Structure 1
Amino acid sequence: MKPFAPSVSADLGASRRRTSGYAAYAFAIMFSINFLNYMDRYVFTGASPIIGQELGLGLDQLGYIASAFLIVYSLGTLPFGIWADRTRRKNVVALCVAIWSLATAFTALASNFIALFLSRMVLGVGEAGYYPAGTALLSDYYSRKKRARIMSRWGAGTLIGLMVGFILGGFIAGLGKGSWRLAFLISGVPGLVLALLAWRLREPRRNEADEQEEMEEEQVGEQQELKEGRASSDPVRAHLKSVISVLVYLLGGFIVGGTVCSLVLKNWEVILVFSAIGLVLVGAIALLAIGGLLLVRRWQARIIQAQETDAEVGEPEIKPLAGAALTTSSSPADDGQRPSFSWRRLGQDFSSLLRIRSLVVLTLVQTFAFYAQGASVTFLPVYLHQKDALGLTVGQAATLSGVVVVIAGIAGMIIGGYLADILNTFHPGARILVCGIGFLLCAPSFALAVTVHSTTAFMIFFFITAMLILLYNGPCTAAIQDTVPSALRASAVALALLLAHLLGDAFAPSLIGVLAQHFDPTHGGHFAHDLAGQDLRLALLVTCVPMLVLAGLVGIVGARWMKSDVAAAQRADALAQVQRSGAAMA
């Protein structure tokens, strides 16, 4: 047996390198597409003050255009998600990228409200199918243990795209009359190249990464398991690296954000204030993290004893979800495709998904949070440009909107992924809990951001707001994938997005525009530089803050159900694997 062990280890190591290398390549393509997704979406937002002036549009019309995209996007996610669960997901991704890229390029030809309205609707069709199919595809390249961090890093592409879209739209639109059209051409054409690269990706088998990880753990043997058990027996040592990463990203985000804001505003006091706040937060979090991990070490013996007791008693039998793994079978190509479409099976699938309590909780959390996100991001450049708010130029407003949201958002996403993975060791519902806590803390920060009249104070509070409001991204996406059988992952994402966007941010821009016009005592008489001024501040305050509070409370209360939902999904996947093995042997 001794001569055989090194061979198994060598083969296992080579297999891991090949798999991880291709997964990294696929991640790079998906990250680039995610970047382009949000750049194409928000180049319009960055240029909206100039577009509104040239085409004679008011805030209500800009809100209707934003809602047109979001409504079509929301309604389109469900059919595309169902399709993605029954075909090769890479092909769905490639088709959707091509559609939205063409729609973005053709926006340059728009000359009135109707043309913009229709082009943004087509953009929504293309982007609707990417996220459900892309999430499910990426989840089968990476195992459950790495999923939250991978999803957080993938989500960072959305923020970089948002920043570039804001800056590209605002900067090019400010060059001269009609120059905003060039921004749509620049952002639309590269998507056709990425569509081709996505089409050539290898389609992974459903649940491939989790099954491969289980096989590798079995092949390693008891000796390696014992070694890993000793290495990870100390929770302080196991998570110290992750805690340090969280602190580094937090402090780095504040320093970079403060530097950029100082350069744009030409006020060097901003970076000093940002750095000071970053240091205070890092110190506070470091003390809390070290104290918490030391406390866990004291409780470790009690936790291990409880786990041993649970193992002796046995887990209660959890029935697999009806219509999920029971209806799963491999295609003739063995790529994990699901059977052909039928209304009966579709009803079974959605009935199964709606019985997953964690999925319902995450959908509600995203519904409330999406309202606040959609409303604030849509009107942020206009708000900063208005004279009664901060009175910045179009270029400054677009640059600060993009840079602050991106730097703070990337830090928040990565921190959220690390926190969820750290806390998940001690609390089975940690991923949902991190989402809820982030939104609850975000509410007072958001309220302060839209009530202060100082540019420096606004940037500080909005930086904190953007960081907290995007903590949810990786943990929420990973939680949905963890609590749903692998055969229904794209459908689950599509269902959650449909309900969350349709009930959350689809009508948020329109509502904010109407409320702002209603709250404006002068009806656009003198507030803004070049755009009819409405009271955006009050409209954002009275709607977004309560939504964030509701999102936080639902997430904190609903975290309790994740443990049982994850166990049910794992059993459903195990049963599906047994059925596939039996079918292959037959």
Structure 2
Amino acid sequence: MTEAEQSPPYGSVDRLDVSTVEKTNRPTPSNSTSGSSDSGAIKQDAKIETPNGQMTRGKMINTLIICLLQLLNFMDRYALPGILPVIIDELDLSNLQGGLLQSAFIVSYVVVAPLVGYLGDRFSRKIILIVGLTVWSLVSLAGSYMTTYSSLLALRCLGGIGEATYSAIGPAMIADMFVGDTRSNMLAMFYFMMLVGGGLGYITGSGVAAATGSWNWGLRVTPILSLISVFLIIFFLKEPARGESEGSRLVSTSWKKDIIYLLHNRSFMYSTTASVALVFVIGAVGVWGPQFVVLSRKVVFDETHTFEEISLVYGVISIVSGITAVIVGALMGMKLRVRYPPADALICGFGMLLSAPFFYGFLVAGTGPLYWIYILSFIALWFINLNWALVGDILLYVVVPTRRATAETFQIMSVHVFGDASSPFIIGLISDAFEPLIESDSEDYRKYTSLQYALLINPFIQILSASLFLVGSFYLLSDREKAKRAVANGISRQSSSN
């Protein structure tokens, strides 16, 4: 028996098609108490939380476990860029082959993620997490023992199982436990764990590899820790009821109806498409940023900075810019959306727009003083990182509870397939194509310049992302109100049937 067929703690539930509910014009608690203003409804939501959405010890433990999974996944993801130049040199790889090692996780992700999204809206999410993360941990650990390119690539292809398992379920469970500003705060913590994990990945990957003298050991830290996290899920994670924080009585509908609903949700589609462009840039700079800085030092004959040192500094930049920007972005969203309901999308759009010139400056200043490279990189990443919690929040309040895992899967799969899974090997491919065209006797100069040319596409992609976020802001208010009415009408219809 699926969870959709079981009775929630509040009583029995009639099967109700959400798409039908959204079309009803019946007065609801949300639109009868807020006047005729959608803005008033959002202001009310920003300030008031239901008892079901309050913080408890159990909910905090759940959230910490979910955030730990986010941390470990991105530690594993960015451990490889932390040692990528070493792997390229030892295995004699091209930039395209090196980029494919980072992009390979998408193979298993696109297979597993849709299944997890479907099951995550209908079956036990705790069991899905246990099975998926156990498989991912063992596969990642096995990959760390590979010594040839083909075998390493084959195991890296299975690395998407971990993120496919938790990435759709985690935010949906947070939404089931919290509402209002508390939800925004918990999402902020979830998304800055991604950035902390990425930074720690650089540090642990390069640090452990340097300490042991083997790049293989740089890939073994996170699989071991992730196996431990499986036991935390088994003994401490308590799965919340779907829509619990909002008092939702809605039940799951068919996968076809879920997808049609999402495709017609304009706020969701614009924010998803904008996020694809955002993650394309993050994936490109995350993988090739340290290598670009290393090559820039070789071009200017600066041998005082080792790759391990550069990876360490780059990791610190990623962590500090990520934590501070996610917190600031979440606070801006909570404060501004009370007066300006579309503020979340506007902050995302202007964040991407302001980041573009600094990212361009980072690339053209490559042969200048190292501190300028670090400063420009920090500012560019800071403005991009404003967006993470806000994008997650937008999805959760414009999509009804019973379709959130599917929506998370749809969004995350889109940003991976066309974003950070594509950008590393696309940048590597463009760089390899440019290298023979650059006239120089210095191989380091050719590698540096070709990589610089390839990365210069990113500022234009950032402008595209900004434009999509800003267009999406025009639909944010109405789409959020539709989701609220669907939940409210579901409750009203259930009450009348009782």
- TM, length-normalised to structure 2: 0.83
Partner residue of 2:45?
A: none
CA 533–113 in structure 1, closer or farther in 2 if over 3 Å, else same: farther
**Conserved in 2, the CA contact under 8 Å of 1:435 and 1:552?**
yes
CA distance in 1 between counterparts of 2:363 and 2:219 reads: 30
Q: 1:351 aligns with which of 257, 260, 264?
A: 260
**Pairing 1:139–2:54 present:** no
**Pairing 1:414–2:327 present:** yes
Query: Aligned letter for 1:141?
Result: M
CA 21–533 in structure 1, closer or farther in 2 if over 3 Å, else same: same
CA 492–358 in structure 1, closer or farther in 2 if over 3 Å, else same: same
Partner residue of 1:332?
A: none
- Count of residue pairs brought into register by the alignment: 441
Deviation at 1:446, TM superposition (A): 0.5
Partner residue of 2:33?
A: none
Partner residue of 1:67?
A: 103
CA 525–74 in structure 1, closer or farther in 2 if over 3 Å, else same: farther
Q: 1:556 aligns with which of 447, 470, 484?
A: 470
Cα offsets for 1:413-444 (capped at 9, x unmatched): 11110001111101111111111111011111
Q: Which has the larger radius of gyration?
A: 1
Q: 1:526 aligns with which of 412, 417, 442?
A: 442
**Pairing 1:174–2:210 present:** yes
Q: 2:78 aligns with which of 42, 47, 50?
A: 42
CA distance in 1 between counterparts of 2:150 and 2:117 reads: 29
Deviation at 1:582, TM superposition (A): 6.3
**Conserved in 1, the CA contact under 8 Å of 2:53 and 2:177?**
no
SS at match of 1:560: coil
Partner residue of 2:48?
A: none
Query: Aligned letter for 1:502?
Result: V
CA 18–368 in structure 1, closer or farther in 2 if over 3 Å, else same: closer
Partner residue of 1:567?
A: 481
CA distance in 1 between counterparts of 2:240 and 2:447 reads: 52
Cα offsets for 1:528-573 (capped at 9, x unmatched): 49x96662111101x1110100111111122011111111111111
CA distance in 1 between counterparts of 2:163 and 2:288 reads: 21
**Conserved in 2, the CA contact under 8 Å of 1:23 and 1:141?**
yes
Q: 2:346 aligns with which of 404, 414, 433?
A: 433
CA 533–114 in structure 1, closer or farther in 2 if over 3 Å, else same: farther
CA distance in 2 between counterparts of 1:463 and 1:70 reads: 28
Q: Name structure 2 gaps, 5 residues minimum.
A: 1-50
Query: Aligned letter for 1:445?
Result: F
**Conserved in 2, the CA contact under 8 Å of 1:431 and 1:475?**
yes
Where do residues 473-552 of structure 1 align in structure 2 (5 Å cutoff)? 473-520=388-435, 521=437, 526-528=442-444, 535-541=450-456, 543-552=457-466
CA distance in 2 between counterparts of 1:487 and 1:577 reads: 14
Partner residue of 2:88?
A: 52
Q: Percent identity, please.
A: 26
**Conserved in 2, the CA contact under 8 Å of 1:81 and 1:493?**
yes
CA distance in 2 between counterparts of 1:419 and 1:17 reads: 21
Partner residue of 1:388?
A: 299
CA distance in 2 between counterparts of 1:410 and 1:34 reads: 14
**Pairing 1:399–2:312 present:** yes
Where do residues 161-560 of structure 1 align in structure 2 (5 Å cutoff)? 161-175=197-211, 177=213, 179-200=214-235, 201-211=237-247, 328-329=250-251, 338=252, 345-386=254-295, 387-388=298-299, 392-452=305-365, 453-520=368-435, 521=437, 526-528=442-444, 535-541=450-456, 543-560=457-474
Partner residue of 2:131?
A: 95
Cα offsets for 1:65-91 (capped at 9, x unmatched): 222113543453222111111112232
Cα offsets for 1:129-164 (capped at 9, x unmatched): 211011101111111332222211111111221111
CA 533–17 in structure 1, closer or farther in 2 if over 3 Å, else same: closer
Deviation at 1:103, TM superposition (A): 2.0
Query: Aligned letter for 1:163?
Result: G
Which deviates the most, 350-359 or 572-581? 572-581
Cα offsets for 1:493-552 (capped at 9, x unmatched): 1111222222223221111111112222459963449x96662111101x1110100111
Partner residue of 1:263?
A: none
Deviation at 1:349, TM superposition (A): 1.1
Cα offsets for 1:256-287 (capped at 9, x unmatched): xxxxxxxxxxxxxxxxxxxxxxxxxxxxxxxx
CA distance in 2 between counterparts of 1:525 and 1:83 reads: 57
**Conserved in 1, the CA contact under 8 Å of 2:55 and 2:178?**
no
